[in-house]
Amino acid sequence: MTSRLRGLGRWIVFFAALSCMGLAACGNSSSSESSAQGTGAPQAATFPPAPAPETTGGFDGARAYKHVEQLVAIGPHSAGSQGIRRAQEYIVGQLKSFGCPVEEQDFHASTPAGDVAMKNIVAKVPSASPNIIIFSSHYDTKRMDNFVGANDGGSSTGVLLELARLLCARKNAATIWLVFFDGEEAFRPQWADPDHTYGSKELAARLALSGELHRVKAMILVDMVGPTNPIYRRESNSTPWLTDVLWSTARRLGYGKVFLNDSNAIEDDHISFLQRDVPSTDIIDFESQVLDYWHTPRDTLDKIDPRTLAVTGHVLIESVPDLEKRIR
């Protein structure tokens, strides 16, 4: 992702064992200078497997990892590229296989590279309630040579697809949308307004124009959620009560060493909704271990720990009942 961190704290690495996962027990992943191009085998992660789904609320970290692997195998897939069309086909195909009602929302964005065709993908899980909870990720990669975005775009997309498999198969008390944003990444090397978050701006504006925006009671964004020993700080722009729901769920599940109570400010896709007064929050690891390979060709599959995907997904799926109660 191309979010900018203001006031980045020093790198914190924890080695305490998590009660149900043992997540921090492994060593660091190996670094690779090459990246998958879609024509060869992607790099394999060396981490132990994800825990059994019955220990993580049904969320299968191995399935989420497989989605990341498939997206990396496509190769670079920046907005408007041939690669992103393949990524779109994969995401839509997976959602339909889960029985999710899918909308492909095409739009055009004016960018430093000219007019670029983009597509937001929205799975809408209906319920008797008009109130909407959005879970979201971006799926585009940074426009740069050999960048496959295993963590930056891939990890959160894998988590969201596995979440969709669970949520589309059950009756929920609230209407749930799973949104895959195009065009989060800036076209220029640096992050500067207005060259970023094209997809989230488009959806927020579209909902405002249709009069549906008031139905969105919570917007949860996930981004860069794949590294080992993850650190999720409270994002200080985010809506406090919504962050509280997620962080309290994490503590209850034994992930207090992952979801920390100190904060940093991050600019990301959730800002598009915060600016329109929609309660929104961001789960993101933007620490030194990630910054070491962020926006470089080293953001490859070997950086993705299936257990981190499982931790993130476990918190999301277990937060749904509390969110539904809160927005009634």
Q: What is the CATH number of the domain that holds 216?
A: 3.40.630.10
Per the prediction, the chain carries an average pLDDT of: 89
- Residues 289-320 as b or e (16 or more Cβ within 10 Å = b): bbeebbbbbbbbbbbbbbbbbbbbbbbbbbbb
**Which one-letter DSSP state was computed for residue 154?**
I
Measure the N-to-C terminal CA separation of the chain; round to a whole number of Å. Answer: 33
Of the given ranges (12-16, 130-134, 221-225, 246-250), which has the lowest mean pLDDT? Answer: 12-16
**Residue 160 near residue 135 (C-beta atoms within 8 A):** yes
Name the residue range of residue 263's domain. 53-184+192-326
**Residue 133 near residue 217 (C-beta atoms within 8 A):** yes
Question: Tell me: the pLDDT tens digits for 31-80?
Answer: 333 334 443 344 666 789 999 999 999 999 999 999 999 999 999 999 99
Q: Does pTM top 0.75 for this prediction?
A: yes
Give the span between the Cα atoms of 61 and 64, in whole angstroms: 5
Domain assignment of residue 229, yes or no: yes
**Number of C-alpha atoms within 13 angstroms, CB side, residue 180?**
35
Residue with tokens 């959005």: 134
Of the given ranges (31-35, 102-106, 298-302), which has the lowest mean pLDDT? Answer: 31-35
Give the span between the Cα atoms of 181 and 173, in whole angstroms: 25
Task: Compute the average pLDDT of residues 191-205.
Answer: 95
Instruction: Indicate the number of domains in the chain.
Output: 1
**Residue 235 near residue 263 (C-beta atoms within 8 A):** yes
Q: Give the pLDDT of residue 288.
A: 79
Q: Give the pLDDT of residue 45.
A: 62
Q: Give the pLDDT of residue 8.
A: 35
Q: Give the pLDDT of residue 25.
A: 33
Task: Compute the average pLDDT of residues 291-297.
Answer: 96
79: left (phi over 0), alpha (psi -120 to 50) or beta: beta
Domain assignment of residue 44, yes or no: no
* C-beta neighbour count of 239 within 10 angstroms: 19
Which band of pLDDT confidence, cut at 50, 70 and 90, is reported for residue 190? confident
Q: Give the pLDDT of residue 261.
A: 96
The dihedral built from the CA positions of residue 205, 209, 210 and 212, taken in this order, carries a sign that is positive
Which band of pLDDT confidence, cut at 50, 70 and 90, is reported for residue 91? very high
Which band of pLDDT confidence, cut at 50, 70 and 90, is reported for residue 24? very low
Domain assignment of residue 243, yes or no: yes
* C-beta neighbour count of 192 within 10 angstroms: 12
Domain assignment of residue 208, yes or no: yes
**Residue 130 near residue 213 (C-beta atoms within 8 A):** no
Domain assignment of residue 286, yes or no: yes
Domain assignment of residue 34, yes or no: no
**Cα torsion through 101, 174, 105, 39, rounded to 10:** -70
Q: Give the pLDDT of residue 320.
A: 98
CA 172 to each of CA 13, 107, 176, 270, 326: distance values in angstroms, whole numbers, following the listed order: 37, 30, 8, 23, 14
Question: Tell me: the pLDDT tens digits for 137-184?
Answer: 999 999 999 999 999 999 999 999 999 999 999 999 999 999 999 999
**Short-list 150, 156, 158, 139, CA closest to 42:** 150
The pLDDT of residue 193 is above 80: yes
**Residue 276 near residue 239 (C-beta atoms within 8 A):** no
Domain assignment of residue 118, yes or no: yes
Question: Tell me: the pLDDT tens digits for 213-265?
Answer: 999 999 999 999 999 999 999 999 999 999 999 999 999 999 999 999 999 99
Task: Compute the average pLDDT of residues 290-319.
Answer: 97
